[in-house]
Structure 1
Amino acid sequence: MTAQAHPETYVITFHVKPDRVDRFRSLLDPVLDAMRHETTFVRAALHVDPDRPTVFQLHETWADREDVLNVQLSRPYRAAWHASLKDILDTPRQIGIWTVVRAD
């Protein structure tokens, strides 16, 4: 693991096709369950827009960016999830990377 001043949070927004919401969850939930056991995992939270039930936002916090890019993204438990994204999303997912400057 490389040294980092702060863990990073990946904020990922998904616009899911209306008839694919159940499939979205059935594919993503096992990924979230599996990744919580990874050594560089810090936390994750999945949100849904209360006014738009097909718009989700995932916050994944990891301790090591290099591990995320070189190891975590290619974990076998993510394969079905990644392979299905084009089919279940209306638009490509939007990914932002954020670093904490204050937490209360």
Structure 2
Amino acid sequence: MKALKKTLPFIVLLAILLCLSWQSESTLTSKNTIVLVKYKTQPDKSVEAINNLTILIEEVKKEPHFVSIKLHVDPKDPTNILLYEEWLDASYYEYAHMKTPHIQQFIANAKNFLAGPPEISLWQLEKEF
């Protein structure tokens, strides 16, 4: 019983810290910008596009304000590729990110495997259910 009385304050403090940590992390995520990037590859160039995107993403992951990227391929049409990106700062994404050497290099090479420019849209979380 004495041991419980001595450790109880530490357990309570740990529980409070865990709750605060979870809450601040959840709040931060809800303010992040989601970017959807839709690509259409040239016929029979999907593998080349995915390889180039993978190399690009490895560089993008080093940027400030980057949170995550998920690369999706349409199971019915592999020439449709979608990137689901999460960023801390929309203005960084729209300006500084687009001017990085790795993005500029990707844009220059993309004519070899993409059918045209990507469709890019930015999203903010309104409600979470």
Q: TM-score, normalised by structure 2?
A: 0.68
User: 1:74: which partner in 2?
Assistant: 99
> Cα distance 1:96–1:77, how it changes in 2: closer, same or farther (>3 A)?
same
User: 1:54: which partner in 2?
Assistant: 79
Q: Cα distance, 1:75 vs. partner? A: 1.2
Count of matched residue positions in the alignment of Structure 1 and Structure 2: 100
Distance 1:103 1:48 in 2: 26
Q: Is the 8 A contact 1:27 1:80 kept in 2?
A: no
Higher Cα Rg, which structure:
2
> Per chain length, whose mean CA-contact separation is higher, i.e. which structure has more relative contact order (CA < 8 Å, sep 6+)?
1
Please identify runs of 4+ aligned residues in structure 1 that moved more than 4 A. Answer: none
Distance 1:100 1:48 in 2: 24
Residue deviations 1:20-76, cap 9 Å, x none?
222212221111111112220111101001111111100111111221122111111
Q: TM-score, normalised by structure 1?
A: 0.82
Distance 2:88 2:31 in 1: 7
In terms of fraction of residues, the more strand-rich structure is 1
Structure 2 segments unaligned to the other structure (5+ residues)? 1-29
| Identical residues among aligned pairs (%) | 24
In terms of fraction of residues, the more helix-rich structure is 2
The AA in structure 2 aligned to 1:83 is A
User: 2:32: which partner in 1?
Assistant: 7
